[in-house]
Amino acid sequence: MSITERQKQLVRESFAKVTPISEAAAEIFYGKLFEISPEVRRLFKGDLKKQGKMLMQTLSLAVKGLDNLPGLVPVLQKLAERHIQYGVREEDYTPVGNALLLTLKAGLGDDFDQETRDAWIATYRLIAATMKSHAY
């Protein structure tokens, strides 16, 4: 599984537009996630603002790591291990991906065109597959 240079570019450019509104984006993300999959609410025991900051930092790290996928893999594997400790199940990755796409659409509006959406889908699939293959 891989992503093209164009997809990497689209993900980087679109994420740069989300970064200035990262706190609001994180709020939207968790709202969408709990709407789509209320059962995952059990996984979040701490402060959601703090969790939102960690989410955005992790996304930033992943976006930056797209140009060095071999270097990103160990980071994603450690993240997967932590997620298992939190009680994340393999099936929880799908609603997270869907919430991410809905958040990007809400945050980017018309800038979240089909090509950009497809780039994020490819990116999330790569990230999720790497994490799941290590954890399950």
pLDDT in tens, the chain (136 residues): 689 999 999 999 999 999 999 999 999 999 999 999 999 999 988 899 999 999 999 999 999 999 999 999 999 999 999 999 999 999 999 999 999 999 999 999 999 999 999 999 999 999 999 999 999 9
The Cα–Cα gap between 58 and 56 comes to 5
Q: Return the CATH architecture of domain 5-135.
A: Orthogonal Bundle (1.10)
Residue 119, burial from CB neighbour count under 10 angstroms (0-12, 13-18, 19+):
buried
For the chain, the structural domain boundaries read 5-135
pLDDT of 1: 67
Q: What pLDDT sits at residue 2?
A: 83
